Structure 1
Amino acid sequence: MSDSLKTIKERLLLIQEENDPYLELLRQDSRVGVQKLLSQWEKRLAKEAAQVAKYQEMMVFEQAFYEQGHRFIAGIDEVGRGPLAGPVVACAVILSPDHPIYGLDDSKKLSAKRRGELFTQIQENALGIGIGVVEPSEIDRVNIYQASRQAMLLAVEELPFPPSALLLDAMTIDSPLPQEKIIKGDARSVSIAAASIVAKELRDSLMKEYHEQYPHYGFDKNAGYGTKVHLEGLEKYGPCDIHRRTFSPVAAVIK
């Protein structure tokens, strides 16, 4: 074997089969650098295989609807039920069965970097994305549970075309469409996982914008959740226009 390490690294990027003859040549190469590259390739292939297997496992709910004749299945999730400030944001995503996005998972389990990468892939490959936003004043009026349901329904209505069935994370909404409520759906359905990622990215971005307007509460870091910085700002400055006044930590400081 006379190939340089640079050449070997480039060739390994193109190999996807474990029985490729070039791999056997590398296994016989005594150079430490070659064996390290080979080990890295094997780990990468194992990781990719695990992602494919997980994706197929998380397609079970979508597959059931496909087998019933549905073509456009929207996964729906919301973000922002727990914060003391800001809107609740829901997303509906119709994924393409022809363009799998490997690595989808509950947005809370993903690093910010990985979530951002998947967010881009979803935008590029999804058949449709709809967003629903319900503001704090409406949350205070109807309660957070009903506001979350409203946001989910708005997200469905904002899709570029109507879905034929819905998959939702632990809730149902007032829609005549066939729907299935899935406990921990953002970790069990690829469509709901995609929706959770988009909703999380958009809401975090929105809260960073609000931080520019209301800098005393750390919205750029806590997204409106009740962190120490947030609670200290609330105590010192009182609530701002996007605080949820019916939530007890906020209600407690309203004079």
Structure 2
Amino acid sequence: MRDLLSGNEFWSPIKLSLQVALLSSIVVVIVGVAIAWWMSRRSFNGKLALETVFMLPIVLPPTVVGFLLLVMLGRRSWVGEFIEWLFSAPIIFSWWAAVVAAIVVSFPLVYQTMKTGFASVDRNLEDAGRSMGASEWQVFRHITLPLAYRSLSTAFILGFARGLGEFGATLMIAGNIPGKTQTIPTAIYVAVDSGNLSMAWAWTCAIIVISFVLLLLTGRKSS
């Protein structure tokens, strides 16, 4: 068992999963905070339809999300062609594709959490800041965001956890290349499929421990 846990075969998917989850959660929190704040302060025709689009990844099958991303970012799309021209390499079947998949599937959780957090902020405090000459950015930075800090930390943890456990969309656009795009969920799938139950159990225990710690932190933040 010690030899199993000390090998690069075991640690590589864990390191990559943590790397993907960390980067995707940082990006999705920044984007989610900005969009949630803007949406919570605006009223316009089609707002409900737009929010429904934002929430679609949470109800669509991951393979559907992965297929749509494959079409949008593939080498035959203008987005994929532009990315390949810009970085001299396609994004499909790279670990960056896993990051994109994690961002898309975790966005609804982050957005909904931050939307609820911003809704709980007392508008009178924001108006008081404006009446004292503060700009919208200053009101957001010094009043709104600090008051919604608990939601912000919860959104980050939820985004991290969702990105860590992403499987279907990741497999569709990043593949399962050992040492390059193989994350914990895809590694477990391959291990079970090939009959390597020892490695499957080892990775399963690892992701259970990580997920337990994340949920524990979320519970502490919300209590």
When normalised by structure 2's length, the TM-score is 0.22
Structure that is richer in helix per residue: 2
